[in-house]
A and B are shown apart, each in its own frame.
Chain A
Amino acid sequence: MKQIKYLVVGILFGIIMTKGELISWFRIYEMFKFQAFHMYGVIGSAVGLGTLLMWLFKKGIIKNFYGDKVVVAAKGKNWKSPLFGGLIFGLGWALAGACPGPMFVLIGNGIFSIGIVIIGALMGTFLYGKFKQYLPH
């Protein structure tokens, strides 16, 4: 039952992704063509407001449900893995038109063929785990 709140937040996420057209292959294509402000507005406003939220967390002005300070994990210091991994992710994002969240939201939208993309993503994740030690980080 403790998990129910995450289900509710997930439902909210799915609704936002759908209503904001963020699950649309066309919106991703348009973004990479620099032909619309929509996606930049979404990501930009989220980062802008997110920066304020992070600041409120860091200053301890907003605490979590348990009354503790919110600590947001740092992303490390590597530059090779985010660059090379990011490049490959970008290729897939523009081809399939979905990132990991929207992939699942699309199933709810009745686009079942996205299941093939999800299978591919799971295979890709598995391959990364298997060959991680040979890759630059």
Chain B
Amino acid sequence: MMEIISQPWQWYVAGPSIVVVMFLLYFFGKRFGVSSNLETLCTMGGAGKFSDYFKKDWKESLWNIVFLVGAVIGGFIASNYMSSNVPIDLNPQTINDLSILGFENAGASMVPSELFGWEALSSVKGIGLLLIGGLCIGFGTRWAGGCTSGHAIVGLSNFQIPSLIAVVGFFIGGIVMTWVLLPLIF
């Protein structure tokens, strides 16, 4: 049993587990969609002063912010008490492709130090890349009306055409970044 907890979870454990989360949220009368929290956080921060779009009662979305706080705690628990610190079992080809881009030790940690480490953070380029990445995520997900949870998982499960279009968009954008832009940036 401890073995199952400390080892990385295979896709057939992780995927159905997400549906358990989705079930619980709907069971309690809510919904599964993480990116609307970004909107609620803007509202809580006073964005309503600058745009009517944020003039909402954030207390109605408080449950989702509480969910997000739980997600942070869950990440802490999993990384501190449920981890065996084995490297991510990446395809050797991926590791090779990344080393050509200058990414060393791919899979040794959750994120590459080339983007998230102190050295990267001490350069304008490093901070700029993370900011731009975040900017695209925030702007894109609100324009699209959902992210991986609301569109890819709930929307596709519910046969929503806009969600299918959004997921196609996610992949076109992701492929352009991975295949074209990342080799130019690094």
| Chain A residues within 8 Å of B166, by CB | 82-83, 85-86, 89
**A-B contacts, CB under 8 A, total:** 503
Q: How far is the CA of A26 from the CA of B105 in the complex (A)?
A: 11
CB distance from A87 to the nearest CB of B (A): 4
Interface mask (B1-38 → A, CB under 8 Å = 1, otherwise 0): 00000001111111111111111111111110011011
Given known contacts A70-B26, A92-B133, A95-B177, A11 and B153 CB-to-CB distance under 8 angstroms? no
| Chain B residues within 8 Å of A23, by CB | 75, 110
Interface mask (B98-136 → A, CB under 8 Å = 1, otherwise 0): 100000001100111001110011000001011111111
Q: Can you report 30 residue pairs joining A to B where beta carbons are below 8 Å apart?
A: A6-B30, A6-B63, A9-B28, A12-B20, A13-B70, A13-B71, A14-B73, A16-B74, A18-B82, A25-B111, A26-B110, A36-B91, A39-B11, A44-B15, A47-B153, A81-B144, A82-B146, A82-B151, A82-B169, A83-B165, A87-B140, A89-B136, A89-B141, A89-B173, A90-B173, A101-B149, A120-B130, A124-B134, A125-B42, A126-B138
Question: When the two chains form their complex, are residues A6 and B177 in contact, meaning their CB atoms are under 8 A apart?
Answer: no
Question: When the two chains form their complex, are residues B42 and A109 in contact, meaning their CB atoms are under 8 A apart?
Answer: no
Question: When the two chains form their complex, are residues A7 and B70 in contact, meaning their CB atoms are under 8 A apart?
Answer: yes
| Chain A residues within 8 Å of B72, by CB | 10, 14, 104-105, 107-108
Q: How far is the CA of A96 from the CA of B124 in the complex (A)?
A: 16
Q: How far is the CA of A82 from the CA of B16 in the complex (A)?
A: 26
* CB < 8 Å neighbour of A91 from B11, B66, B93, B140: B140
Q: How far is the CA of A50 from the CA of B178 in the complex (A)?
A: 28
Question: When the two chains form their complex, are residues B15 and A91 in contact, meaning their CB atoms are under 8 A apart?
Answer: no
Given contacts A13-B18, A47-B152, A92-B140, 13 further A-B contacts (CB under 8 A): A6-B64, A9-B67, A10-B69, A12-B74, A14-B73, A75-B146, A76-B162, A85-B142, A88-B136, A90-B176, A100-B34, A108-B75, A120-B131
Q: How far is the CA of A20 from the CA of B75 in the complex (A)?
A: 11
Q: How far is the CA of A135 from the CA of B23 in the complex (A)?
A: 34
CB distance from A8 to the nearest CB of B (A): 7
The tally of residues in A whose CB lies under 8 Å from a CB in B reads: 113
Q: How far is the CA of A17 from the CA of B28 in the complex (A)?
A: 21
Given known contacts A20-B13, A32-B177, A13 and B74 CB-to-CB distance under 8 angstroms? yes
| Chain A residues within 8 Å of B117, by CB | 113
Nearest 3 Cβ contacts at the A-B interface:
A14-B74, A10-B70, A90-B173
Q: How far is the CA of A117 from the CA of B23 in the complex (A)?
A: 29
| Chain B residues within 8 Å of A36, by CB | 90-91, 94
Question: When the two chains form their complex, are residues B152 and A129 in contact, meaning their CB atoms are under 8 A apart?
Answer: no
Question: When the two chains form their complex, are residues A113 and B130 in contact, meaning their CB atoms are under 8 A apart?
Answer: yes
CB distance from A67 to the nearest CB of B (A): 11
CB distance from A102 to the nearest CB of B (A): 9
Question: When the two chains form their complex, are residues A75 and B155 in contact, meaning their CB atoms are under 8 A apart?
Answer: yes
Question: When the two chains form their complex, are residues B74 and A83 in contact, meaning their CB atoms are under 8 A apart?
Answer: no
Given known contacts A82-B144, A128-B142, A47 and B174 CB-to-CB distance under 8 angstroms? no
